[in-house]
Amino acid sequence: MGPSFPPPAAKPNSRHTVALVGPPNAGKTTLFNRLTGLRQKVANFPGVTVEQHTGRAKISAQRDVFLIDLPGIYSLKPCSEDERVTHDVVMGTMPGTSKPDAVLLILDATNLTRHLTLAVPILSLNLPTLVILNMADDLRSRGGEVDPAALAAQLGAPVALISASTGEGVEKIFQFLEGTAAADHRRSEPLLQLPVLQTVPRCRQWAMQAGRGSSYQAPAHSAWTRRLDAVFLHPVAGPLVFLLVVIAVFQTIFTGAKPLMDGVQNLVTSSGALIANVLPESIFRSLLIDGIWKGVGSVIVFLPQILLLFLFIGVLEDSGYLARAALIADRSMRRVGLQGKSFIPLLSAYACAVPAILATRTIENKRDRIATIMIAPFMTCSARLPVYTLLIAAFIEDRPLLGGFLGMRATTMLGLYLLGFLAAFGTARLLKSSVLKSEQTPFLLEMPPYRWPTLRSLGLRLYDRAKVFLHRAGTVILVVAVVLWALGSLPLENGKPPAIENSIVGTIGKTVEPLIAPLGFNWKIGVGLITSIAAREVIVGTLGTLYGMDSNTQSVGLQQALQKDLTPGAAVALLIFFAFAMQCMSTIAVVRRETGGWSWPVAQFAYMTFLAYLGGFIANHVMSGAGPSALALFR
């Protein structure tokens, strides 16, 4: 990967690079999004696991400024990986990234004394720096104040009081960017006497003086935050709210997403039928309809569900509740050797393991972080839902249970969630009591004040997610669909596609069949297991393509085709296989990247596949041996 812009040597003055630096939660992301809009890119810094967000800010019709958003830091001491990256970039020693021409230092004005300590190391870099005091709206509404001009005089650097979320004062940033882009006025002499001994207490003392010198009046504690915490952290009400939130998340993605998903499904089906009507019967039509439309369409259907889940996580995170949830969860997480911070990534893993694994970066302790990465793919991610939904609808009769409160299908679904959950925590225990055993690291969690999530920030998150998901559907899954179609239609017999079992894919499937026969799977499932290593949901598309091409099952839907082709034991085995197996290329890739080598992802893949096989084997045998009473639940 790496930066995709032209090397700086080409035209020395054409690209002007500005780095965004600030402590966590100062509003860096919000400001970055406001300055760049959708003109941004995410990549990785070379050699490390830290993400690099870059984007362009338009300062005039012809001029763009190149912005780099750096990870949130409390100091420039390169202790953690995040801090080292920020340190290297601003020092100009990061390979592939030129030394920034200027710095935007973004600080939370409601927390000025603490945040101003970061100004000491940043200003001593001697780069043109704009000190941005963010959250002006919040500062004012809670009765705080600060004199930016006086602070600027103290710091010897321009100061802008702004609000990244409302856009107030952002024009001052553009003015600064214009100024630095026009003239290369590097400061030659430091304008202020900065503390030479950069110990934290010394910096803090200096920051307090600077604050006093600019008539800084710290805002009153947010009354709302106090009031809300009295409920959310109440010994009884707190855990109840926590439970309600978790239930609400599930309710939304299962019930709320249904009409939207049906809508997308109808759109895919009707558009496919429309095209089929227009095109003449040919091998090309077969490729388009049976290969691409069915394969990709069956995956796109899940977009609404994924977006709803990310919307929920976005609201929880932006509102500040997620930190309280981590606090409440800490005790339970500690039982399995993890900590409250693992809760956030693990909750995200219900949407997708990839962002969850990226979210583990907030865990400072390396061993806790790897343990969290190792168990995250066990959580029931949304890519498993297509598989679960299909098999449950085909094989489980929806009888009311508990007086109609829960259906048999919903219970099965919950059971699968529970299974993944237990596997995750069992594994965490195992890891934390063996290879990843560590002394308990200090659990330090900042409680941000509660805030209203903004539509803008939520919208950008969803846009980002939709882009990633559709990109995958448009690349990996499209390729798999086309390749499969080709393998299933070749070699031609008398210029016509062969019967599916005589095709290449049929041969491959039959080769692996003996291996998976103990689980009750036939060769079609075998093909699905192979293709779904790309991504779990691919198996649905694959089976759709395979049964769609089989003349025996062409006329019936996928559900009926499966009912004819699989025993209930095999169906349950398949469900359990998918609960455990690590069928996802993206996850494997991201684990490799985040753990810095192949050993963890390989071990993880082997372990999860072993559990999946064992679970499927046991399920198939128990179900086949079960009496007719148990089988009566199934059709």
Chain contacts with other proteins (rule: CB under 8 A): 74-75, 77, 79, 110-111, 113-114, 117, 200-201, 204, 218, 221, 229-230, 233-235, 238-239, 323, 327-328, 330-331, 340, 364, 440, 442-447
Minimum distance from CB of 81 to ligand GDP (Å)? 16
Residue with token string 């388009």: 288
Kindly identify the residues of this chain, within the stretch 148-177, that bind ligand GDP according to CB under 6 A. 163-165
* Segment interacting with ligand GDP (CB under 6 A) among 1-9, 17-25, 153-161, 365-373: 17-25
- Strands of 17-21's sheet, edge to edge? 40-44, 51-58, 64-69, 17-21, 102-108, 129-134, 159-161
Selection from ligand GDP, other proteins, none that 447 binds (CB < 5 to 8 A by kind) is: other proteins
161-199 as b/e: b if 16+ CB within 10 A: bbbbbeeebbebbeebbeebbeeeeeeeeeeeebbeebe
**Of residues 119 and 303, the one with the C-beta less far from other proteins:** 119
**Of residues 74 and 250, the one with the C-beta less far from other proteins:** 74
Question: Does 532 help bind ligand GDP (rule: CB under 6 A)?
Answer: no
Minimum distance from CB of 134 to other proteins (Å)? 15
**Of residues 451 and 592, the one with the C-beta less far from ligand GDP:** 451
One-letter identity of residue 622: V
**Of residues 219 and 506, the one with the C-beta less far from other proteins:** 219
Q: How many binding residues for ligand GDP (CB under 6 A)? A: 20
**Of residues 164 and 203, the one with the C-beta less far from ligand GDP:** 164
CA distances from 178 to 8, 72, 126, 424, 563 (A): 19, 25, 19, 52, 66
Question: Does 361 help bind ligand GDP (rule: CB under 6 A)?
Answer: no
**Which member of 18, 19, 21, 26 binds ligand GDP (CB under 6 A)?**
26
Question: Does 451 help bind ligand GDP (rule: CB under 6 A)?
Answer: yes
Minimum distance from CB of 233 to other proteins (Å)? 4
Selection from other proteins, ligand GDP, none that 29 binds (CB < 5 to 8 A by kind) is: ligand GDP
Q: Residue 258 CB: number of other CB atoms within 10 A?
A: 12
Minimum distance from CB of 82 to ligand GDP (Å)? 11
Q: Which two tokens stand for residue 89?
A: 């970039």
* Segment interacting with ligand GDP (CB under 6 A) among 130-138, 228-236, 526-534, 538-546: 130-138
Question: Does 98 help bind ligand GDP (rule: CB under 6 A)?
Answer: no
Question: Does 137 help bind ligand GDP (rule: CB under 6 A)?
Answer: yes
Separation CA 145–CA 174 (nearest Å): 23
> How would you classify residue 263: left for phi > 0, otherwise alpha for psi between -120 and 50, otherwise beta?
alpha
* Segment interacting with ligand GDP (CB under 6 A) among 25-33, 80-88, 254-262, 463-471: 25-33
Question: Does 87 help bind ligand GDP (rule: CB under 6 A)?
Answer: no
**Of residues 191 and 447, the one with the C-beta less far from other proteins:** 447
Bridge partners of 493, per DSSP, are 496
Question: Does 454 help bind ligand GDP (rule: CB under 6 A)?
Answer: yes
Q: Residue 201 CB: number of other CB atoms within 10 A?
A: 10
Minimum distance from CB of 585 to ligand GDP (Å)? 29
What is the chain's length? 635
* Segment interacting with ligand GDP (CB under 6 A) among 28-36, 82-90, 227-235, 271-279: 28-36
Quick one: three-class SS letters along 222-248?
CHHHHHHHHHHCCCCHHHHHHHHHHHH
**Which member of 17, 360, 457, 587 binds ligand GDP (CB under 6 A)?**
457
Quick one: three-class SS letters along 542-561?
HHHHHHHHCCCCCCCCHHHH
Kindly identify the residues of this chain, within the stretch 40-79, that bind ligand GDP according to CB under 6 A. 72
Separation CA 157–CA 152 (nearest Å): 5
**Of residues 327 and 357, the one with the C-beta less far from other proteins:** 327
Contacts of 448 (CB under 8 A, 6+ apart): 25, 320, 323
One-letter identity of residue 160: A
DSSP 194-216: --SS--HHHHHHHHHHHHHHTT-
Selection from other proteins, ligand GDP, none that 71 binds (CB < 5 to 8 A by kind) is: none
**Of residues 21 and 385, the one with the C-beta less far from ligand GDP:** 21
CB 358 within 8 A of CB 451: no
Sign of CA dihedral 84, 362, 342, 472: negative
Selection from ligand GDP, other proteins, none that 457 binds (CB < 5 to 8 A by kind) is: ligand GDP
Selection from ligand GDP, other proteins, none that 117 binds (CB < 5 to 8 A by kind) is: other proteins
Contacts of 136-140 spanning 24+ positions with Cβ under 8 A: 136/109, 136/161, 136/162, 136/163, 136/168, 136/169, 137/163, 137/165, 137/166, 137/168, 138/109, 138/110, 138/163, 138/219, 138/222, 138/449, 138/451, 139/109, 139/110, 139/219
Question: Does 24 help bind ligand GDP (rule: CB under 6 A)?
Answer: yes
Question: Does 464 help bind ligand GDP (rule: CB under 6 A)?
Answer: no
* Segment interacting with ligand GDP (CB under 6 A) among 129-137, 349-357, 409-417, 501-509: 129-137
CB 394 within 8 A of CB 562: yes
Selection from ligand GDP, other proteins, none that 444 binds (CB < 5 to 8 A by kind) is: other proteins
One-letter identity of residue 480: V
Separation CA 496–CA 504 (nearest Å): 14
**Of residues 322 and 530, the one with the C-beta less far from other proteins:** 322
Minimum distance from CB of 327 to other proteins (Å)? 5
Whether the link from the prior residue into 280 is cis, omega within 30° of 0, is no
Through-space distance between the first and last CA atoms of the chain, rounded to whole angstroms: 50
Question: Does 25 help bind ligand GDP (rule: CB under 6 A)?
Answer: yes
CB 542 within 8 A of CB 508: no
Q: Which two tokens stand for residue 414?
A: 């919950």
**Which member of 64, 82, 138, 594 binds ligand GDP (CB under 6 A)?**
138
**Of residues 42 and 194, the one with the C-beta less far from other proteins:** 194
Where along the sequence are the contacts to ligand GDP (CB under 6 A)?
A: 22, 24-30, 72, 134-135, 137-138, 163-165, 318, 451, 454, 457
